[in-house]
Amino acid sequence: MGRVVTLRNSVRHGGADAVVDLSVGTDWDLGAVRIRTDATGHAFAGARGRMDYVEAGVSACYAYGPLYATVSVIGAPSQRAIGGSNVYVYANANAGIPGTPLTMLTEVGHSSGSVRDPSRVQRLRPGGSYTNWRLGLEHRRDRLTIGVDYIGTEVSRTATASRFADQRNAGDRIVGRVQVSV
């Protein structure tokens, strides 16, 4: 699977204009539970310095009627580009709202890891370990998804930051999104 996202001269990623994510993974069905493992490489186009890094993850998903729940761990081994290692643990759920074309989404996650370079580790964990959350609503029709999310993090906008931490990514906000799947 591949994904390209514009970053518009991201401070957090060394001035990168875009990131290209390439993933490979596989699924196993164990009764009602689906296990997924994957590995992802993140390549940052236009970045100053070496910003690329890799990570791997495992997740377990369970569906019951309109409810779909996932628990996952994503780990990045210690790498210079991220100033140490990173472990992100999260759980999410979504459910179709009966009688409507809408789906409700919720997620909570926590990021932590080792520190080798206190400045670079701010790329993935500004201010140290943190918790984040999301509550959203979306409508899917064929390959088009339109959604709105309330997202937040306990990362403080006033925390002392390194040159890799972008304080604009801190705090709570409402985000609109449009996705076209091919």
Task: Tell me the per-residue pLDDT of 125-152, one tens digit each, with 9 for 90 and over.
Answer: 887 788 999 999 999 899 999 999 999 9
Task: Give the DSSP per-residue string, 70-123.
Answer: EEEEEEEEEEGGGTEEEEEEEEEEEEE-TTSSEEEEEEEEEEE--BSSTTGGGG
* Residue pLDDT, tens place only, 74-93: 999 999 999 999 999 999 99
Domains of the chain, first to last: 28-35+55-180 (2.40.160.40)
Tokens 């206190």 sit on residue: 118
**Region 53-70: what's the mean pLDDT?**
96
List CB contacts of 7: < 8 A, sequence separation 6 or more. Answer: 13, 16, 17, 18, 19, 44
Position 157 pLDDT exceeds 70? no
How far apart are the C-alpha atoms of 175 and 167, rounded to whole Å? 17
Distance of alpha carbon 171 from the chain centroid: 16
pLDDT at position 33 is: 96
Model confidence over 1-60: pLDDT tens digits?
Answer: 888 888 888 888 888 999 999 999 999 999 999 999 999 999 999 998 899 999 999 999
